[in-house]
Amino acid sequence: MKGGAILLAILLGIFLAVGQCGSGSADENGDSSSSSSDDHDDSAASDHDSSDDDSDDDSDDKDSDKDSAEESNKDSDKDSGETDHTEAMKQHLESQGIQVEQVVRSTDDDCAAHSYGEVRDHFADHPCQSLERAWYELGDDQGDSAVMSVAWVEMPDAEDTADLQQLVDRPGTGNITELSKEDGPYQDVTYSGWYYRSGRDGSTFHSVQAEPLADNQGSRELARRASGATAAD
């Protein structure tokens, strides 16, 4: 009986020892799994945050590039839209095969100070918004020559522009002073009125006067062709 008790005690000790070893292994495996899972989550979270940051940076860069492109396009549009009447007329003349030897341009906002006759009185009562004037020395391959003066007047509205055109087109009422009479080598040239044209576009009125610089048919034809051109059509 005593030997049986001893044997039972030994078996119980072995059983308890084995149970403790199994428990320790399970705990160790559980902790490792948990730790591995936490490391994966932290890594995933870090990668996700980094991806979000990169995405935000890319988005900011794209927005910045888009803004820069739009601003560049606006500047380009603005530059292309600022071609003045004088340059537009020069291009038109050259497109007709007329040689433009010299161009002089002037701008102002006091039309009364640069007009005469009834036209000046009209501007005193109906001021213009702006005035652009130019004169062109013209030639061709045959040696013909002419001078042309152009004025562009911006009025407050289309009705004022129509009234101004009717007045200027009427003989003997005066005109906007030709720039060639105020500046350059052609101040003594008198415009006969044979090569005169006028037109309007919205609130802008323009008048064109040309005069041959030589007494020959070719120069007269050159003046006629040039005066038939419009400001920026």
Same domain, residue pair 13 and 25: yes
Select, from the ranges 21-30, 49-58, 175-184, the one with the highest average predicted confidence (pLDDT).
Answer: 175-184
Helix (H, G, I), strand (E, B) or coil at 51: helix
In a domain, 232, yes or no: no
Given 82, 110, 132, the domain boundary residue is: 82
**Are 20 and 91 members of one domain?**
no
Tens digits of per-residue pLDDT, 178-201?
Answer: 999 999 999 999 999 999 999 999
Residue ranges making up the domain that contains 197: 85-227
Could you give the angle at which helices 118-125 and 158-169 cross, rounded to 10 degrees?
160
pLDDT at 50: 47
Least confident of 47-61, 102-116, 142-156, 164-178: 47-61
Q: Report which of residues 34 and 168 the model is more confident about.
A: 168
- Distance from C-alpha of 35 to C-alpha of 31, rounded to nearest angstrom: 6
Q: Is residue 76 part of a domain?
A: yes
What is the residue whose two structure tokens read 């530059």? Answer: 79
Amino acid letter for position 86: T
Q: Does residue 58 sit in the same domain as residue 108?
A: no
Per-residue confidence (pLDDT) for residue 61, from 0 to 100: 52
Question: In this predicted model, which residue has the larger pLDDT, 120 or 62?
Answer: 120
Q: What is the pLDDT of residue 87?
A: 96
200 forms beta bridges with: 205
Q: What is the pLDDT of residue 199?
A: 96
Most confident residue range from 40-54, 179-193, 216-230: 179-193
Q: Is residue 98 within 8 Å of residue 144, measured between CB atoms?
A: no
- d(Cα 219, Cα 43) in Å, to the nearest integer? 87
In angstroms, how far is CA 137 from the centroid of its own chain?
Answer: 31
